[in-house]
Amino acid sequence: MTPSRQPAPAPAGADTVAEKRDGAIVVTGAGGFIGGHLVRDLRARGAGPIRAVDIKPLHEWFQVFPDCDNRQRDLRDAAACTETCEGATQVFNLAADMGGMGFIETHKADCMLSVLINTHMLVAARESGVERFFFASSACVYPDYRQNTTAAAALKESDAYPAMPEDGYGWEKLFSERLCRHFGEDYGLETRVARYHNVYGPHGTFDGGREKAPAAICRKVIAAKLSGRHEIDIWGDGEQTRSFMYIDDCLHGTRLLMESGLSDPINIGSDELVTINRLVDIVEGIAGIKLARRYQLDAPQGVRGRNSDNTAIRRHLRWAPSIRLEDGMERTYCWIYDRMKGGALPRAVRR
């Protein structure tokens, strides 16, 4: 891990800016999976006022809360970022153009353009006198050469360098991590950076090409169950390994990190390593069926093995993700099943 930074003095005029703050907590990407859950969690804890921002129109948000300041804005535009940060005290920047492996391997330029969001949001946060800025990074910052076997060692934070991250998406995240660091060093902006590892749960994408493995496998198993065609397509040979973190653990870790004094990037992810075949086993058990498996060896697979080393988060935050994969997958499966079976849930869940 790179040495902890020493914040520079606050920029001139910071006290004047502080007097104009309305205390808003900004969540960008609020119409997405993690962002929607984060807004829900902040509301439940009495935080606020909450300013929820996403590029999508409100009817496409996964969760919408009418008592929040909900805004449709394209944060690749600097003026939109300035408006978003005006008067705010905290920013949770989760906005990004991203998806599962099938998306990020075929949309590298689109993924990298998220640096516009991160750059403009950091500039706007500094100019608005924001007190603390959270950036959602990813395990995709870690080098491919540390993840080329199914039994690869769990990734610790210092493993990010020498750098060779996931092409496109990973470079965007790693660059933005450094940008957060230098905004702290040069401008005194307090930043917190989480390297998320494969977050999953209900109220998220499960079809359309941007879904990640847990949701995709739930969808495939449910489709097989509902259709009676008991077979499933699996990308790769199914022996690639991953760890998957349930959304509640993600929110808990995010909250602890934001409240901490930790300025360096830190893993927030489960260390429960499983193969994709094992993940399919779990979902089959939930569904009560057994499927014939068809392996698609030419499909996008990502790295061969990836797991989170949680030594640092236990040491610094005295906590680590702990929700069992079986428990989280059951909740996720049930939510997707209700959607696919034609239940009453619309795309935007309003609370």
**Active-site amino acid positions:** 169
Residue 258 CA to residue 244 CA, distance in Å, equals 22
Contact 59, 81 (CB under 8 A): no
Enumerate the β-bridge partners of residue 70: 52
Distances in Å between the alpha carbon of 334 and those of 153, 262, 286? 33, 36, 9
Enumerate the β-bridge partners of residue 235: 296
Sign of the torsion angle spanned by Cα atoms 221, 224, 228, 233: negative
Encoding tokens for residue 55? 């590029």
Residue 73 CA to residue 53 CA, distance in Å, equals 6
Residue 179 CA to residue 192 CA, distance in Å, equals 12
Q: Where are the alpha helices (DSSP H) in the chain?
A: 14-19, 33-44, 78-85, 101-104, 108-112, 114-128, 169-187, 213-227, 247-259, 276-287, 311-317, 325-340
φ, ψ at 102 (rounded to 5°): -60, -30
- Of the candidates 53, 36, 68, which has an alpha carbon nearest to the alpha carbon of residue 202? 36
Residue 117 CA to residue 122 CA, distance in Å, equals 8
Q: Under the phi-then-psi rule, with left for phi > 0, alpha for psi from -120 to 50, and beta for the rest, what region is 241?
A: beta
Encoding tokens for residue 275? 């193969």
